[in-house]
Amino acid sequence: HPEKAHEITLEIAIDGKVSGQILTSDKLQDYNSFDNPDNIIPTEFKGFKKKRNTITVKLPAFSVVVLNIK
Query: Over its length of 70 residues, how does the chain's per-residue pLDDT go in tens digits?
Result: 677 899 999 998 888 899 999 999 989 899 999 999 999 999 999 999 999 889 999 999 999 999 998 8
Provide the β-strand partners of residue 7: 58
- Give the chain's domain count: 1
From CA 53, how far away is CA 68, in angstroms rounded?
15
Question: Cα separation of 55 and 14, whole Å?
Answer: 9
In a domain, 58, yes or no: yes
Domain with residue 19: its CATH number is 2.60.40.1180
Q: What is the pLDDT of residue 60?
A: 93
pLDDT recorded at residue 16: 84
Give the pLDDT of residue 57: 97
Question: Which pLDDT belongs to residue 1?
Answer: 61
**What is the C-alpha radius of gyration for the chain, rounded to an integer number of angstroms?**
14
* 1 is a domain residue: no
The answer to whether the beta carbons of residues 56 and 15 sit under 8 Å apart is no
Which residues constitute the domain of residue 24? 6-69
